[in-house]
Structure 1
Amino acid sequence: MRWITRPGWPGNLLAVAAGALTPLTLAPFDIWALALLSLALFYLGLRELSPRQALWRGWCYGFGL
Structure 2
Amino acid sequence: MTDADHAWIDDATDEEIVSWYEARPVTVSAAAAGGSIVGAFALGALVAVGALVVMGRLDLD
Which one has a larger percent helix, Structure 1 or Structure 2?
A: 1
Report if TM-score (shorter chain) is over 0.5.
no
- Structure number with larger C-alpha Rg: 2
| TM-score, normalization by structure 1 | 0.31
Higher relative CO (CA 8 A, sep ≥ 6), structure 1 or 2? 1
